[in-house]
Structure 1
Amino acid sequence: MPTLSDPSLGRTQLRSEVASHLRTAIFSGQFKPGEFLRLSPIAHQLGVSITPVREAMLTLASEGYVVQEPRRGFAVANLTRGDLNDQFYVQGMIGGELCSRASANLTDETIEALSQNIEETKNVIHQKHSVQLKLLINEFHRIINLSANSPRLTKILGGIASQNPTEFLAQIEGQADASYREHIEIYDALVEGNTEKSRDLMFDHISHIGGFVIDALSQKGFWRHID
């Protein structure tokens, strides 16, 4: 795992970064279901103190990725296909509703921002694992969610989406290209003001992302420890 010793990272951001790295390690198979996670070695590998690692473990425990056992520590949870299907289903339902609401609230500035986002994504789509590509894909969703003018629902979605294995997702072959194509379809529906189509396309888009994750895990033999 890469180090996270950047002194500019605040406590909350550091905890979030550690949690993200641990999610990736779990999904990439570095840590197996049932395996206990030792705080000190992980802290040493990441170049941080034990405190943000422990805080990140508590975050992952609240998300269901690890379980805390008294006097033994944290162990990787037995995550199932159904668990991930449920996660992306709920995310798709909320994301679809926000997209539908956004279609009725779009301003010229928002349309221009989405159009520019798609153009910039097109220019870096060949950089499969670039930080910029990941940021642009996330920004597309952020613009839409904020345009829905539903702050509470947007916050709920953010809490669910933060549990996604984003670093692992970025490594999946074909996922970025598929997301780019679907973003164009969603953009067209939004510009048309078609609320139902916008909702359905966003739900399908998020469901497809979940499918990419589950298929990639299947290919890595992730479920053989559980099924």
Structure 2
Amino acid sequence: MKNILAGKLENYKPLREIVFETLREAIITGQLKAGERLMEVQLAEEMGVSRTPVREAIRKLELEGFVVMIPRKGAYVADISTKDIADVFEIRAALEALAAALACERITEEELEELERLLVRVAECVEKNDLETLIQVDTQFHDVLYRASRNDRLVQIINNLREQIQRFRTTSLATPGRMRETLEEHKALVEAIAARNVELAQRLAQEHIENAENRMLEAIREEMRARQGESS
């Protein structure tokens, strides 16, 4: 935990915000696992800060759904159910469609060129089967689309939803054939936006998120069945 915090203390954000972002990153990346108890004293010692910013960070993480508070027991990393994931994706699909529609009307030529460059990088990742880099490039791709919507509040809401299920992203993209499907879906979406075809862009953006959801839930259910088989 201290390693994550190191280097971030030099920026100009308030300490409570740095601690919050550090803990959230640890949850998203799986360093803090679902069901793990968050001990204020221990976390404060590991991070070299007082308990106050840790306590504030845990409260904020609870509001965002990353942490659950259990009476008389304390704070625990939230264990997201398949129903939670489906709910998040349902909302995100609608918002992604909205972002794509707005991007059709507001995107700049420079942003379109940036999307084209990112498509080339996605293709390289697919050919190399480089999942880790693909996740990073995919994030950049969607960030450009969100920015092109010119709606800061929409971007904020989508990013919050995306972060809640970020820890399962690898599960989705790692399913057989999903990396190449993602590339083809991205290409089609960029073509629709470049053509300023609002209706098509909306449909493709929604389908892209729905496909990612289906792959993710399928992989999670398969993993659950495997665990049940091991325990029987």
Range class of TM-score, shorter chain: 0.7 to 0.9
**Between Structure 1 and Structure 2, which shows a larger proportion of helix residues?**
2
The residue correspondences of 1:98-117 to structure 2 (distance < 5 A) are 98-117=99-118
- Looking at structure 1, the residues matched to 34 and 78 of structure 2 have their Cα atoms a distance apart, in angstroms, of 10
The residue correspondences of 1:27-176 to structure 2 (distance < 5 A) are 30-32=33-35, 36-39=37-40, 47-49=46-48, 51=51, 54-77=55-78, 79-125=80-126, 126-130=128-132, 132-165=133-166, 167-172=167-172, 173-174=174-175, 175-176=178-179
**In the alignment, is the contact (CA less than 8 A) between 2:68 and 2:76 conserved in 1?**
yes
Find out whether 1:214 has 2:213 as its counterpart.
no
Q: 1:25 to 1:107 in 2, by over 3 A?
A: closer
| Fraction of identical pairs, as percent | 21
Deviations 1:24-82 (A, max 9, x none): 439x9x544xx6444556677xx524756545533432233432134421134464322
- Looking at structure 2, the residues matched to 184 and 159 of structure 1 have their Cα atoms a distance apart, in angstroms, of 25
Letter matched to residue 205 of structure 1: H
Q: 1:13 to 1:136 in 2, by over 3 A?
A: farther
Q: Which runs of 5+ in 1 are unaligned?
A: none
Letter matched to residue 121 of structure 1: V
Q: 1:211 to 1:123 in 2, by over 3 A?
A: same
Q: Which runs of 5+ in 2 are unaligned?
A: none
Letter matched to residue 169 of structure 1: R
Task: For residue 141 of structure 2, give the secondary structure of its aligned residue in structure 1.
Answer: helix
**In the alignment, is the contact (CA less than 8 A) between 1:69 and 1:75 conserved in 2?**
yes
What TM-score do you get using the length of structure 2 for normalisation?
0.76
Q: 1:213 to 1:58 in 2, by over 3 A?
A: farther
Question: How much has 1:120 moved relative to structure 2?
Answer: 1.9
- Looking at structure 1, the residues matched to 118 and 79 of structure 2 have their Cα atoms a distance apart, in angstroms, of 38
**In the alignment, is the contact (CA less than 8 A) between 1:128 and 1:170 conserved in 2?**
no
* Matched residue, 1:7: 7
**In the alignment, is the contact (CA less than 8 A) between 1:19 and 1:59 conserved in 2?**
no
Find out whether 1:196 has 2:199 as its counterpart.
yes
- Looking at structure 1, the residues matched to 155 and 101 of structure 2 have their Cα atoms a distance apart, in angstroms, of 13
Higher relative contact order, structure no. (Cα contacts within 8 Å, ≥ 6 residues apart): 1
**In the alignment, is the contact (CA less than 8 A) between 1:24 and 1:168 conserved in 2?**
no
Q: Which moved more, 1:106-115 or 1:156-165?
A: 156-165
What TM-score do you get using the length of structure 1 for normalisation?
0.77
Q: 1:189 to 1:177 in 2, by over 3 A?
A: same
Larger Cα Rg: Structure 1 or Structure 2? Answer: 2
Question: How much has 1:215 moved relative to structure 2?
Answer: 2.5
- Looking at structure 1, the residues matched to 120 and 55 of structure 2 have their Cα atoms a distance apart, in angstroms, of 41
Q: 1:209 to 1:13 in 2, by over 3 A?
A: farther
User: Paired residue for 1:22, among 16, 23, 27?
Assistant: 27
